[in-house]
Amino acid sequence: MDMGMFLLGISALTAGLIATGIIRNRRFKRRQDQHQQLASRLGMQLAYMNEQQATWYGNYRSYPLRIETVLIPVPGPRGRALHRPALRFALPMHNPSLNALRIARRHPDAPWLDSIAQPDRPMTFAHGIAPWLDIQSNNMLFASLVLSEDLKISLYDVFSRLEAGLMFIYDDEMVFLYPGLLPDSSDLSLMLKIADLLCDTKDQLN
């Protein structure tokens, strides 16, 4: 190979690396801006390293809300552990009676949701919201007091937009698990509805 071809190859490689770096930086900035947009809409702070390490924190509707990207371990082939990303919305709870409420939309692509926050001695709550929504509790009176007609409407509004999802009151937290990362679009309405659903439930408890 003569020197001219060698220099041409080096130039092409360098140009390719620069182009790849620019594309990656632009994608990083775009995703960071989407995460910041959600923080601004919620009036919260954002700690962002990348789309798999992001945390929103602060108060929303006067409640201390925390949203974070989590990796949930699931069984993989040949016994290897895999991890599925999810967005975890959480409000602290005062729950001395250890009342548990579990609301789930199941899907074959998200079987890992089935093992999370299972209450002891669960009872199925008849709700009439939709046949694809499973509601369980260890205290039927508690469930009936929480699940007002207005809250049922909010539950349908959120879960009908998802293929799979989980909301639960368990121990000292109220949590919503959204399978996947922050949607790669400017439409953040579902994320806001999830935050409102938790706050609506907290209002009902109060």
Helix/strand/coil (H/E/C) assignment for every residue in 29-46: HHHHHHHHHHHHHHCCEE
Contact 55, 69 (CB under 8 A): yes
Model pLDDT, residue 1: 52
Is beta strand 81-92 parallel, antiparallel or unpaired with respect to 101-105?
unpaired
The residue type found at 157 is D
Evaluate the CA torsion angle 178, 180, 181, 187 in order and state its sign: negative
Q: pTM of the prediction?
A: 0.85
Distance CA 122, CA 136 (A): 6
Query: Helix axis angle, 189-205 relative to 149-159, nearest 10°?
Result: 160
Model pLDDT, residue 32: 94
Model pLDDT, residue 19: 46
pLDDT in tens, the chain (206 residues): 566 565 555 555 554 555 455 455 677 799 999 999 999 999 999 999 999 999 999 999 999 999 999 998 877 777 677 888 999 999 999 999 999 999 999 888 888 888 899 888 889 998 999 999 999 999 999 999 999 999 999 999 999 999 999 999 999 999 999 999 998 887 899 999 999 999 999 999 98
Model pLDDT, residue 186: 77
